Amino acid sequence: MPEAVRAYSREKDFLQIRKIQNDILNAYLLDFSKHAGRSEIMRISELWNSIN
32-44 pLDDT tens trace = 888 888 889 889 9
Q: What angle do CA 14, 21, 15 make, to 5 degrees?
A: 20
Q: Which residues span the domain enclosing 11?
A: 2-51
Global pTM value: 0.72
Q: What angle do CA 28, 32, 38 make, to 5 degrees?
A: 160
Beta carbons of 10 and 26 less than 8 angstroms apart: no
Total tally of structural domains belonging to the chain: 1
Low-confidence ranges of the chain (pLDDT < 50): none
